[in-house]
A and B are shown apart, each in its own frame.
With several copies, the nearest count.
Chain A
Amino acid sequence: MLPFARVRELLGPPREVELPGGATVGALWDDLAKTCEGLRQLAQSTRIALNGRVARREEALQDGDEVALLPPAGGG
């Protein structure tokens, strides 16, 4: 789980996350948001990328997947 920018400041540095078999991208988000009020407020604006490409909530996770949490872009 690879959080960036303000999401990283809420969740801390990248870390491994244990999930039940068949868990989805959405389930991971809900799990993280459960204990973090700040993260819940960013639900609308945060995109989630699975192995380097933006993913939908329904997509299933495999062992070793990289899930990145991407706040709105600020580059340039």
Chain B
Amino acid sequence: MFAIVRGPIDVSAIAKSVRTDACGAIITFSGVVRETSDDDRPVTGLSYEAHESMAAAEFEAIAQEARRRFGPCEIAVAHRIGDLHVGEVSVAVAVGAPHRGVAFDACLFTIDELKRRAPIWKKEHYAQGDSEWRSNPDAQA
């Protein structure tokens, strides 16, 4: 499953979608809205937007690249858009693989690449009342 979603992300359902009978390890990564920004400002929430069809296609391309690099595994990615509060899950990646090494490597690669190249944008809303678009440090130019 490679999806942009508008409501809460069900991490268990995503984890379940990557299990096969050959699967000995499932890793999930959940990105969670933090109460402080990277530059330590109090945050009340985030708004995400995406080029939805391009983002979903990019998730799938990243997953294919992960399988080429690390070996056979099942990968699912969901990213939420809209307004999120502190504590809510903005993105979930799940990987199922026969052994844990492949699952860890593929999961870390997928979230790293998603942050670098998926067409998704984030606006931070600060406790002081202002807001700012924030790009990722390693975003593809």
Contacts and interface: CB of A to CB of B under 8 A. Distances in A.
A28 to B, nearest CB: 17
Given A4-B49, A49-B51, A74 B57 contact: no
A75 interface: yes
Given A70-B119, A75-B79, A75-B122, A5 B54 contact: no
Contacts of B139: 72-74
- Contact-residue size bin, chain B (C-beta under 8 Å from the other chain): 20 to 34
What secondary structure prevails in chain B residues at the interface with A? mixed
A49 B116 CA distance: 16
Contact of A73 (B31, B90, B91, B135): B135
Nearest to B120: A75
A75 B78 CA distance: 11
B134 interface: yes
